[in-house]
A and B are shown apart, each in its own frame.
Chain A
Amino acid sequence: MKLTITNLGKQYRHDVWGLKDFSLEIRPGILGLLGPNGAGKSTFMRMLATITKPTDGTIRWNEADVVKSPDALRVVLGYLPQDFGVYPNLNAIEFLEYMAAIKGLNRNSTKKRIDELLQVVNLVEAAKRPLGGYSGGMRQRVGIAQALLNDPQLLIVDEPTVGLDPEERVRFRNLLSDLSGERIVILSTHIVSDVEATATHIVLINKGRLLCESAPEELLKELDGKVWEWVVKSEDLPALKQKHIISGTIRRTDGVQVRVVSESQPEASAQSISPNLEDAYLYFIGGHA
């Protein structure tokens, strides 16, 4: 099972490319797609989900050309869009029955699958209430359930944790981890901690270009010896922000403890510390790679 993307590009206007020269081979596991807002993540996801057609390049699901024959992928695809909406006057069961029929599930398997998924997303008690009365997090969980209805081999989730409270977010991360294995999960987000907790592979994207692609461990290895920590006076902080990439600050009684990503030791008192993915994200997105 593999998804092969070759020289993918999407042009919106004459000189505006949402995505350009994007090549990637994706195998089973969780791929975390990280990038700032407007980086081209949703453009990429929408092309993978067969909603929009690329201007350039190819997408292949195993050997099938997805651009020419999208149904080859659609039958095994689960998609949760960034701006997921529902029919507000249907309840969760009715909405999921509707989605199941559209996805081609038969009547016998639908009821069982919906019961399973309502338990997975913890919506059993609210299942017969109209969706219009659901909170943002509950709606998002309905979205997750619909994406899983056909037990997809390729699951694409675009900014899935937006609107979820911390408990729901952890629950969703665990669910994603449980789902991975013999399927490809593509998780797009700008929340680094979501990717840190779940991804087996990371792709960084900015301004429509692929910046880097690697396992989280390899990404962190590149940052070895480039993350520093020391305490500065509060009044020195603005100047430091101009000079370095600051990935974290903690107020202390003796000043502000800063965490800085820098190629060389920025201060004599700075101590080298272990990098995390947020450091790596800022380093690569900041254009220091």
Chain B
Amino acid sequence: MNQARVIYHLARADFLERVRRYSFLIMLGLVIFLGYQTGIGNLTLELGQYRGEYNSAWVGAMMSLIATFFLGWFGFYLVKGSVARDRETGVGQIMATTPLTRPLYTFGKWVSNFSRADGNGYRARTGRSRYPAYAR
């Protein structure tokens, strides 16, 4: 069994399944909105009475920090339920009849979760989509 191929397809199927949902579009809009609000200065990060100087380094760092902060809150809802879905849909039963190992399965799911959360974080920081063609 080609393990890299298995991980790629596990992550790809999980990723495509989730990013094609309406809930993902809503989350996408929210993240872009937060990124934009940070970019135009409506959302700022301050330490007491101090704030960073508005140059490219500080704005970039601030957007990353804010995006990461909100993703920590909402990101859970983005990635949760991945294993439960396999159980509920019955796909997990079929997987159980294949030579797929648990570590490989878990790693594939992790790659999918990572790519999705990372994609949203990227979007929040840049306002651009890294995956232009997946939303239907």
Measured CB to CB, the residues of A under 8 A from B are: 46, 49-51, 71, 74-75, 77, 79, 81, 83-90, 94-95, 97-104, 106-107, 130, 146
Please tell me if the beta carbons of B89 and A85 are within 8 angstroms of each other in the complex: yes
Residues on B with beta carbons closer than 8 Å to the beta carbon of A95: 13
Q: Of A74, A85, A99, A104, which contacts B90 at CB under 8 A?
A: A85
Give chain B interface residues in 45-91, CB to chain A under 8 Å. 85, 88-91
A192 to chain B, nearest CB (A): 25
Please tell me if the beta carbons of B90 and A98 are within 8 angstroms of each other in the complex: no
Closest Cβ neighbor of B96 among chain A residues: A51
Q: Give bound CA distance, A98 to B9, whole Å.
A: 5
Residues on B with beta carbons closer than 8 Å to the beta carbon of A84: 90, 94
Q: Of A50, A79, A87, A97, which contacts B17 at CB under 8 A?
A: A87
Please tell me if the beta carbons of B93 and A51 are within 8 angstroms of each other in the complex: yes
Q: Give bound CA distance, A189 to B10, whole Å.
A: 32
Please tell me if the beta carbons of B8 and A101 are within 8 angstroms of each other in the complex: yes
Closest Cβ neighbor of B9 among chain A residues: A101
Residue with the highest number of chain A CB atoms closer than 10 Å, among B16, B21, B98, B136: B98
Q: Of B9, B12, B96, which contacts A50 at CB under 8 A?
A: B96
Please tell me if the beta carbons of B5 and A101 are within 8 angstroms of each other in the complex: yes
B24 to chain A, nearest CB (A): 10
Q: Does B100 contact A (CB under 8 A)?
A: yes
Q: Does B2 contact A (CB under 8 A)?
A: yes
Do most interface residues of chain B lie in helix, strand or loop, or is the interface mixed? helix
Please tell me if the beta carbons of B97 and A79 are within 8 angstroms of each other in the complex: yes
Q: Does B99 contact A (CB under 8 A)?
A: yes
B27 to chain A, nearest CB (A): 15
B7 to chain A, nearest CB (A): 9
Please tell me if the beta carbons of A49 and B91 are within 8 angstroms of each other in the complex: no
Please tell me if the beta carbons of B90 and A94 are within 8 angstroms of each other in the complex: no
B88 to chain A, nearest CB (A): 7
Chain B residues touching A, range:
20 to 34
Residues on A with beta carbons closer than 8 Å to the beta carbon of B18: 89
A42 to chain B, nearest CB (A): 11
Q: Give bound CA distance, A43 to B71, whole Å.
A: 43
B63 to chain A, nearest CB (A): 30
Q: Can you list the 9 inter-chain pairs with the closest CB atoms, starting with the nearest?
A: A85-B89, A101-B9, A85-B90, A89-B20, A98-B13, A104-B1, A87-B17, A79-B97, A51-B96
Please tell me if the beta carbons of B99 and A75 are within 8 angstroms of each other in the complex: yes
Residues on B with beta carbons closer than 8 Å to the beta carbon of A46: 93
14 contacts between A and B (CB under 8 A): A50-B97, A71-B99, A74-B98, A75-B99, A85-B88, A85-B90, A87-B85, A87-B89, A89-B18, A98-B12, A99-B94, A101-B9, A107-B5, A146-B94
Q: Give bound CA distance, A88 to B20, whole Å.
A: 10
Please tell me if the beta carbons of A87 and B96 are within 8 angstroms of each other in the complex: no
Closest Cβ neighbor of B6 among chain A residues: A101
Please tell me if the beta carbons of A102 and B9 are within 8 angstroms of each other in the complex: yes
Contact (A74, B99) CB under 8 Å given A83-B90, A101-B8: yes
Residues on B with beta carbons closer than 8 Å to the beta carbon of A87: 13, 16-17, 85, 89, 91
Residues on B with beta carbons closer than 8 Å to the beta carbon of A146: 94
Q: Give bound CA distance, A71 to B90, whole Å.
A: 20
Residues on B with beta carbons closer than 8 Å to the beta carbon of A85: 88-91
